[in-house]
Chain A
Amino acid sequence: MQEKFIFCDPDKCLGCLICEFVCSAAKGKSTDPLLSRIRVVNFEPVGSMAIACVLCKDTPCVRVCPRKALKQEEKTGVVLVDEDKCNGCCWCFEACPFGAIAFNPQKKVVMICDYCDGDPACVKYCPFDGALTLSRIDEVAHSRRKDVFKEILKETAGKRA
C-alpha cells in the first residue's frame, strides 16, 4: 500500500488561505500564517494552489542537509526536522522542487509538514469540496483519468447521438 499525500486540485482551490491559518494554529498555536507548513500560491488573477510536502521517495532535502537534521520516517514517508540540529541554513529550501519547506522566523529553523499523524488539519478544514484531499497517488491519477473521460464525453456528445 502506498502512502497518502496532501493533494491540492488547482481547479477547485480558490486560495482562501484557510489551510494556512489552520496549520499555524495546529502546529504553531498561533494565527501567524508564516508559521504554516502548507503554503498557498495565488496566481493573478484567477487560479491558486496549496502546496505541502509530497513525501518524495528521493528526498533531496534530506540528502542536502549538511547537519543531518532531516530524516525521513520509513513507514510514513514524513520528513522530520530535528530542531536542535537545524540551524536554518535553508539548503533544503533550494533542494525541494516543490517549495514545500517553510522557515520558522521565530525559532530560526525549517518546518516541513508532518501530516498531523495521518489526519491533517488543513484537509479537515478545507471548505471547498475536493480542493484539498489526502489521496494515494493512484487515486489522484484515477480521478484525473475520469476528468479526461468526462471531457471526451462532452466533446463527443453531439457526435454519438
Chain B
Amino acid sequence: MFGYMGKILRVNLTDKKVSEEPLDRHTARKFLGARGLGAKILFDELKLGTDPLGPENKLVIATGILTGIPIPGSARFVVMAKSPLTGIWGESPAGGFFGNELKAVGYDAVILEGKASRPVYLWVNESETEFRDAGHLWGKLTRDVQREIFKEVKDETAIVGCIGPAGENMVKFASILFDFNHVAGRTGMGAVMGSKNLKAIAVRGTQRPKYADEEKLIDLSLKELANKGETTRRGCYWPDALDKYGSNVDYRYWQLTGRLPTQNFRKCTFPGYQNVIAETVSSTILIRTNTCPHCPIQCNRIVQVSHPYEVDPDYGGPEYETTAALSSFCMNDSLAALAKANELCNKYAMDTISTGVTIAFAMECYEKGLITSKDTEGIDLTWGNPEAMIQIVEKIAHRQGIGDLLAEGVRRASKKIGHGAEEFAMHVKGMEIPMHEGRGKKGHGFSYTISNRGACHLQMESDDLFEETPYPEVGIDETVKADRLYAGPEKVKLVKVVNDLFILYDCLPICRWTVYPDGGKRVETFAKIINAATGWNVTIGELMTVGERVCNLERAFNVREGINRKDDVLPKRLLEEPLPDGPYKGETIGKKALDKMLDHWYALRKWDKDSGIPTREKLEELGLKYVADELENIGPPRKAEKHSPS
C-alpha cells in the first residue's frame, strides 16, 4: 500500500509477545491514520467500562500519511488510550522525531496492551522488537532515562519516548516525554504507560514507505518548503512571529484584549504580564530555539536560568499554554519560577496545563480555607507564591501529602474536598480547561463543551482568526458569522467546520502552527500530497468527511462510557460570572445561550437533541453502521454508572 508502511505492531506486555498485523486498505482510506486509526482501534477493541489504568486498556501510538513526508509541520503522531483523567476518549498529539522514526522501523502504529510484571522498556530496531529490563530506570528522571537508554542500545541516534516519576506514580495527568522536549501532554497518557510498567519505547530504523508518484511528491514538498514564510505568517500579529517568539507570542495579545486566563478564571488581565511575555523571555533566559524535522518554524524554546532557581536547558522551555497556566493562572509573576515549574513538569513528565490549573484550584481552596496549612504541611499556598508553586509540583509528581489528592486532577480533588469546591474546579468532562478565555471568544468557549477529550483548545481555533478570513473551500464563507462575541447558529456552524478540519489535521497528521486560516489554507495541498503519496483520488470533501467520521466515532466511544448531553457543560464560573475588566467587561457565556448553541450543534451534527447521541442515520451515512449497532446493544442513555467516569 503506497504512502503507508502497511503494518501495525501489537505488543502484549503481559506475556511479552509481539505480533505484526496488516493495515487494512479500507480502514486507511476511511480513517486516514493517526487519530482516526487510533479511534477505530480503541472503539473496536476496548470494552464498555474498561479500567483506564488496568491491563485491559490499550495504548496506541499512531502515525499517518503525512508523517515522514518532508513538508513543514508533518512530523506528528498521536498517542491514544482510554484516559485515566477523564474516563473517556483520551488522545494526545505530539511532534518531534519519534513519529518519523516509528514509520522508519516499519510500522504505522504500535498497540501496547496488557501489563508487564516488572518494569520494562521496548527497543524496536529495524522491525526487531526487544523487551529490556527497566528496573534500574524506574524512578529516574526523563533525561537520565533517555541518556541511559542511548548507552544500553548502543545507538545515540535512537529516539526515545519515556515517562518520568509522575507516570510511574500514575498521576492522572502524567505525560509522555519524547526526544527530550516534545511532549504528549494531555489526558494522562503517561499514567497509562506507567500502569503497564512500561518505562520507555526506543525506536531506530531506516525504512520508508513506497510512494505512488515520488516525483510529484518531491515537487509538492519542495514547493511547501520554499513557501515557508507563508506558513508562519499570522494576520493577527506579524510575519515570522513564531520563529522569533514561539507560541508565547499570544500572551501579550490576550492580556491587551482582556482575555488572559488569570487567577483560576476570576480575572482576565494580569498586572505582572510584562515579566513573562515572549519578548522578555527572548531577551533574558532564551538560549536557543529548536524545531521538528522538516519544519522552518522553530517554535520550540530552550531556556536556561541560574538564579534563583537552577533551570536545565535540556528540558526545553515554556510555550504559551504553560506560560499562562503557571504564571497568570496562579498569579505568579516570576519568570524564573515559571521556567523552573516547566522544567520540573518535563523532568517528572506531567501535563503543564493540568498542573497549572490544579495548583490554581488548590490556591483558591487555600484562600477559602478549604485547604489549610496543616494539609499542605506548611506550604503557604497564597496566590502567586512561586516557592509554593514549585513545591506543590514536586509533591504532585511524587504523590506526597496533599500532592496525592491534587494528582487526581481538579474534578476528583474538588469532589473529595467538597464544601462547594466543585464550583471553582475548572474542568469539562474531567479535563482541566486550557488557557483560552471562552467568555471573550464564544466559539472557542463553546468548543470546550463539545470536545471529545474534555476541555481542549485544539478542537477549534480562536474566533478572532476567522473574522476576516473566509475559507469557502471547506465551508467558512460569508454566511458564517465569526464575530468573537457572537454566540448563535452561524457561530456553531463555524465551530463545526473548524472542528472537523482540526480533527482531520490530527488524522493526517499535521501541526496546527502550519495550517492557520490566514497563512495556511492548505487542505487543497494536503489532498494533492495524499494523492501523490497513495495514488488515491481524494477531494477536499472526502477529507472533511473523514474529520466528521472520526468525530462521530470518538463521540460514540464516549457515549458507550455513559457520556450524554448532561456532560456537555461548562463550569459555572465561565457560564455565569462576567469578565471583571478589560474591553470585554461584563461578558458571560450564559446557560441559556449555551443550551441554544448545543441545540444547534446536535442539529448540525444530526445527533439526538435530548441525549446528544449520534443517530443511526448519521452513523450509517458515515459508513459506521457497526458503531450504531454497538450503541444500540448497550441500550438507551444511562446515568453515570459505577464504571463510567467519576
Contacts and interface: CB of A to CB of B under 8 A. Distances in A.
B349 to A, nearest CB: 15
B461 to A, nearest CB: 24
A95 interface: no
A110 interface: no
Interface residues of A, number: 21
Contact of B294 (A11, A21, A32, A34): A21
B298 A14 contact: yes
Interface string B298-318: 100010000000000110000
B295 interface: yes
A22 B218 CA distance: 9
A30 interface: yes
B205 to A, nearest CB: 11
A42 B147 CA distance: 14
A44 interface: yes
Interface in B201-231: 206, 208, 211, 214-215, 217-218, 221-222, 225-226, 228
Given A17-B70, A44-B156, A127 B225 contact: yes
Contacts of A45: 143, 146, 179-181, 314
B212 to A, nearest CB: 12
A32 B70 CA distance: 10
Contacts of B180: 44-45
Interface in B432-448: none
Given A16-B293, A29-B218, A125 B226 contact: yes
Contacts, number: 68
B181 A22 contact: no
B181 A125 contact: no
Interface string A36-47: 000000101110
Contacts of B314: 45-46
B505 to A, nearest CB: 20
Nearest to B160: A44
B292 A16 contact: yes
B320 interface: no
B225 A44 contact: no
A12 to B, nearest CB: 9
Contacts of B294: 16-18, 21
A87 interface: no
Contacts of A22: 222, 225
B246 interface: no
Contact of B150 (A29, A44, A127): A44
B545 interface: no
Nearest to A47: B288
Given A31-B221, A45-B143, A14 B290 contact: yes
Interface in A2-60: 11, 14-18, 21-22, 25, 29-32, 34, 42, 44-46
Nearest to A41: B157
B615 interface: no
A21 B70 contact: yes
B156 A46 contact: no
A149 interface: no
A45 B157 CA distance: 11
B300 to A, nearest CB: 9
Given A34-B206, A44-B150, A125 B225 contact: yes
Interface in A50-76: none
A98 interface: no
A42 B150 CA distance: 13
Contacts of A17: 70, 293-294
Contacts of B217: 31
Contacts of B222: 22, 25, 125
B291 interface: yes
Given A31-B69, A31-B208, A127-B225, A16 B218 contact: no
Contact-residue bracket for chain B: 35 or more
Contacts of B64: none
A128 B296 contact: yes
A25 B293 CA distance: 16
Nearest to B208: A32
A45 B145 CA distance: 13
Contacts of A14: 289-291, 298
Contact of A18 (B70, B157, B181, B211): B70
B146 A30 contact: no
A18 B296 contact: yes
A123 B621 CA distance: 50
A109 B179 CA distance: 33
A34 B156 CA distance: 18
A29 B219 CA distance: 10
Contacts of B225: 18, 21-22, 125, 127
A119 to B, nearest CB: 15
A31 B288 CA distance: 29
Nearest to A42: B157
Interface in B353-396: none
Given A31-B211, A31-B214, A44-B180, A16 B296 contact: yes
Output the residue of A22, A30, A125, A127 with the most chain B CB within 10 A.
A127
Contacts of B298: 14, 128
B563 to A, nearest CB: 39
A42 B143 CA distance: 16
A44 B150 CA distance: 10
B293 to A, nearest CB: 5
A16 B70 CA distance: 10
B610 to A, nearest CB: 51
19 contacts: A14-B289, A16-B294, A17-B293, A18-B294, A18-B296, A21-B225, A22-B222, A22-B225, A25-B222, A29-B215, A31-B211, A42-B157, A44-B146, A44-B180, A45-B146, A46-B288, A46-B314, A125-B222, A125-B225
Pairs of residues from A and B, 4 with the lowest C-beta to C-beta distance, nearest first: A127-B296, A45-B180, A21-B70, A25-B218
Given A45-B180, A125-B222, 8 more contacts: A16-B294, A16-B296, A17-B70, A42-B157, A44-B147, A44-B150, A46-B302, A128-B296
